[in-house]
Chains A and B, each alone.
Chain A
Amino acid sequence: MEEKFVVPQKFKLLTYALIAIGGISLLLGFFLDSQRAWANYLLNNFYFVSLAIGAAFFIAIQYVAQAGWSAAFKRVPEAMVSYLPVAGILFLLLFFGMHSLYHWTHEDALQTDALLQHKSPYLNTPFFFARVIFFFGAWILLTSALRKFSVKEDLEGGLNYFYKSEWYSRVLIFVLALTFSLFAVDAIMSLEPHWFSTLFAGKLFIAAVLHASTVIALIVIILHNRGHFEMLNQSHLHDFTRYIFMASIVWGYFNFAEFMLIWYANIPEETFFFVDRWHGAWKFLFYFNIVVNWAIPFVVLMPRMTSRSKPVMVPVIILLMIGQYTELYYIIWPATVHAAKFGWMEIGTFLGFAGLFSLVVANALTKASLVPKNHPYMAESVAHHF
């Protein structure tokens, strides 16, 4: 079952070009409008970190549930997780942009604002970065252990590594639930330090799972079209769709529950978040997010026929990738840029990060056999049908 993946030269050149575009647009951005450039930087960083985290969660779920169908494709989420160290370094570079993004880093604001003073033992720059280092350290430690077991299993076989991976996956799920929630609060919610919502972190977590499921499916489909993953059949596609469908419904539920409770309770401390976003482009994005992230996947992926066909899945996947961007845009832009600006800087930065992510993932895919060789559920995965 040894299957080698080689990164095509054209693809490599394309990713280099994209990274160059991203670098140039960020650099230009820093000179022209540094706040907007940093907002772009934060958004794209978070976008791709949540992809990697969602992929790590995906692997962990497969082990804990002892899922057989996905065994053949587990190198794809593993490759996506390998973006985490890069993301960690990029996140540390945010140090230079803290002042442009986070209101609570301003000394003068801290002096007059009782709430910020109250929160300052937690929300201060040194502790913020200590947490970032801790979160990324924990994620990288656990996921690289899972990766190591997976590669060693290829060489040695046996059930030993499977049991070890299962145990680490249990730990990883607990660690992710706690750390990613805190990370989402730190990185995104603290942009508006006066606002709080308990569902916010959960919503971003399930958005990460949704988003990662779509990208895993997309990568598998692309590789299949290039001649890899010969065992991929409609049942596998249906199972990928089920993840997307499930996560999309949970996202819709969380998003609605968050809004509805704040709308109903009508407490000014909470409502201002939505009041600020209840006009112009933000109001459009509010509905757009619901339609793209929940309504369209819910209706389109419901029938059996559409949920197992590539021509339907790929457009929905691309739509959901846009949906994750607009969701983060909807949260971040009103808090930082204060205007619905969208132009070359946004597109360029996104392309740059996408290029970097693709390059890291493609390189990670070449490092081991594309299909695991000694995974105990390999036979079940190949024969999967329902």
Chain B
Amino acid sequence: MNKKYFTGVFHDEESLVKAFGRLREAGIKPEEVYTPYPIHEILDGMGNKTRITHAAFFYGLFAVIGLLSFMYYVSVIDWPLVFGGKPFNAFPSFIVVTIVATILIITLATLFTFSVRAKIFPGKQAEIVHPRATDDKFVMLFSDTIGKEKEEIVVHIIQEHGEVEK
């Protein structure tokens, strides 16, 4: 773990939200907040909007178009076969395959997108900011680069609601 960070550790949601609110009033935003479960105030306050849902939508759209045109190419253009008296372009029966394969493609593609954006890959060393950040504690992460003056305010606010660990 890089030395230039310090953390505020809280025991419950309420004190975290209170401290977070006061910090935002003072115009300070933590680098990152780690919580055992999503908390609306933090999500809104951090203002990080994810765009992964849009990515997923477009993966799905392209998957549908791609799959349907692939099946059309295979069964109508490249190798037309009559079976069961169905037309070459047996569209209703293509839909089932399309739905299932689209779900698979969306899942895998968004997983890879997320991994790339979050710089996560197999065998990566875990960055654990605090030993209990993955447990039941609520942890705020601050960078030392916010400056001495602000650091004092942050430390002051955090100490009223939780503990500071450097």
Contact = CB atoms under 8 A, between A and B. Distances in A.
A266 B40 contact: no
Nearest to A302: B57
Contacts of A263: 92
A256 B92 CA distance: 8
B1 interface: no
B40 A385 contact: yes
A256 B95 contact: yes
B96 interface: yes
Nearest to B93: A264
B84 interface: yes
Interface residues of A, number: 9
Interface in B12-71: 40, 57
A21 B129 CA distance: 72
A260 B86 CA distance: 12
Nearest to A260: B92
Contact of A386 (B40, B57, B86): B40
B85 interface: yes
Question: How many interface residues does chain B have, given as a range?
Answer: under 10
B84 A266 contact: yes
Contacts of B86: 264
Nearest to B38: A386
A184 to B, nearest CB: 24
Nearest to A265: B84
B85 A266 contact: yes
A259 interface: yes
Contacts of B40: 385-386
Contacts of B85: 266
B84 A260 contact: no
A43 B57 CA distance: 38
Interface in A251-274: 256, 259-260, 263-264, 266
Given A259-B92, A260-B95, A385-B40, 14 more contacts: A256-B92, A256-B95, A260-B92, A260-B93, A260-B96, A263-B92, A264-B84, A264-B86, A264-B92, A264-B93, A266-B84, A266-B85, A302-B57, A386-B40
17 contacts: A256-B92, A256-B95, A259-B92, A260-B92, A260-B93, A260-B95, A260-B96, A263-B92, A264-B84, A264-B86, A264-B92, A264-B93, A266-B84, A266-B85, A302-B57, A385-B40, A386-B40
Shortest beta-carbon contacts, A-B, top 8 = A260-B92, A263-B92, A264-B93, A256-B95, A386-B40, A266-B85, A260-B93, A385-B40
